[in-house]
Structure 1
Amino acid sequence: MLEGSELLSTVGVDYSPLRDLLASGQWKKADEETGAIMLKISGRVAAGWLREEDIETFPCADLQTIDSLWLKSSSDRFGFTAQCYIWESVGQDYGKFGDTVGWRSQQRYSLWYHYSELDFSLNAPTGHLPAAPFFKFCELAIGWTATLPSKLADCCVEDF
């Protein structure tokens, strides 16, 4: 578990509530908290979703903290680094990415799931969470996916 001194934020965010939610396995609440934090930092609370430019300008220390919390609490199953490895492994294909992380249904003609249909448990596919920052009004708002790997590389998150 990350200690208080490792919960770095350049904008004054207290990450201990997120850490505690993740440590207790409250995946949906942790995902919602992650989304709320990222929207607040990006000034996108009213919009309810992140744009590519929001990812590009997101503070590295905060991205690293969020990613580390998710990775450590899920034994590397969840987190931005896990999502980025999948994104690269499927050739940066949105559909294949959605299939792999479990955000897209094969039984419904490849329709993207609504946020309420996601699996908030350790049974979910690798990379399934966090998801809240990337959904708008319950539906996936793609476009951020191509930006996240380069941002992670810029921030040196988990050697991505």
Structure 2
Amino acid sequence: MEKFDVFLCHNSKDKPAVIQVAEQLKQRELEPWLDIWELRPGFSWQDSLEQQINQIGAVAIFVGSSGFGPWQSQEINAFLRQFVNRKCPVIPVLLSDAPTEPQLPLFLQGLMWVDFRSSQPDPMGQLIWGITGLKPGTRPTIQPKPPETSPKLIKTNDLASEKGIDYTKLRDLLAAHKWKEADIETYLMMMQAVGKKDGGWFSTDELLNFPCTDLRKIDQLWVKYSNGKFGFSVQKKIYLGVGGKADGKYYEEAWNKFGDKVGWRRGWILNKEWISYSEGTFDTSAPVAHLPMRASWRKSIEFELGWASGIWVTDAMSSLASRVVNCNI
């Protein structure tokens, strides 16, 4: 079972703000458990939550302008029982839009909280102290790893590229939630980054050596505009979580589990098949990490709008995961 450092308990209306906190924790090499990243479609969310509640190291309870959600109270009660039994840290966290005088439940009022409405003391440092026990100033907080050094960065607004690529169109498509068009644009931009024309596919070496700055920017755009649901970094996390290895090699069991989890394999349990590109789900009903897709398609079995669609390259996810890891994404 994958080990997590902290469970993020929150009202679904506050999810965008909580995702930002989760991404900052990951940059500091902490593993947050966030429902949108970890709950597998088709399985009981109650079982998954119970499993994490029984082994998680800490819980952060977020309070924003929306107050407490209906399920949040159940999660809080379960963690409070664990807190009593094994001294699990229960950390109230006030988001930046929390009321001036938040109405906290009685059992939270006696706990020290983290306040993102104020910059002093540093709320992220305080939160990490609560999770890890490492007090800011006494031992250094783990800092985000610096990006891999690039030979030369060419910027279009804030869209950095090692290869002089303009990501404005991709950003605009993602901002408009035109997911399929954005998926194809991602493929075209990645082809441009490795010096190829569209209509082809990526070799293992090209993925293992893909420009870090460009891969990071593509991923950041997908993660940002999907509220953490899509992106190469999201796919990497799931692939490694089901036993895959980031070494560019093919691991059939992990690959099949990954396909099941992100919706690229469908059918009955004993008769599942890999979908074609045209069968992909290009809206927010798609499973977590379902997109991007087009960049890793290879063997042509049909054509749609001039784009070859077909069978997923079996080593592509391992190669992409390896590059994402090595680029500190």
Tell me the TM-score normalised to structure 1 length.
Answer: 0.90
Q: What stretches of structure 1 of length at least 5 have no aligned partner? A: none
Is residue 119 of structure 1 aligned with residue 281 of structure 2?
yes
Contact kept, 8 Å, 2:170 with 2:186, in 1: the verdict is yes
Taking the aligned partners of 2:171 and 2:296, their CA distance within structure 1 comes to 20
Q: Which has the higher helix share?
A: 1
Q: What stretches of structure 2 of length at least 5 have no aligned partner? A: 1-154, 245-253, 299-307
Is residue 147 of structure 1 aligned with residue 309 of structure 2?
no
Q: Residues 67-88 of structure 1: CA distance to partner in whole angstroms, max 9, x if unpaired?
A: 0000000011000000000001
Contact kept, 8 Å, 1:49 with 1:134, in 2: the verdict is yes
The CA deviation at 1:54 is 1.0
Q: Residues 32-82 of structure 1: CA distance to partner in whole angstroms, max 9, x if unpaired?
A: 000111122223436622121111111000000000000000011000000
Structure of greater Rg: 2
3-state SS of 2:160 partner? coil
Identity of aligned residues (%): 39
- Counterpart position of 1:20: 172
Taking the aligned partners of 2:240 and 2:202, their CA distance within structure 1 comes to 20
Stretch deviating more after TM superposition (95-104 or 46-55): 46-55
Highest relative contact order (Cα 8 Å, sep 6+), 1 or 2? 1
3-state SS of 1:37 partner? helix
Tell me the TM-score normalised to structure 2 length.
Answer: 0.45
Contact kept, 8 Å, 1:99 with 1:106, in 2: the verdict is no
- Alpha carbons of 1:44 and 1:96: their partners in 2 closer, same or farther (altered >3 Å)? farther
Please provide the CA RMSD for this pair.
1.7
The correspondence for 1:40, drawn from 187, 192, 207, is 192
Q: Which has the higher strand share?
A: 2
Count of aligned residue pairs for this structure pair: 155
3-state SS of 1:111 partner? strand
Alignment of structure 1 residues 90-129 onto 2, 5 Å: 90-92=242-244, 93-107=254-268, 109-129=271-291
- Alpha carbons of 1:61 and 1:89: their partners in 2 closer, same or farther (altered >3 Å)? same
Contact kept, 8 Å, 1:49 with 1:141, in 2: the verdict is no
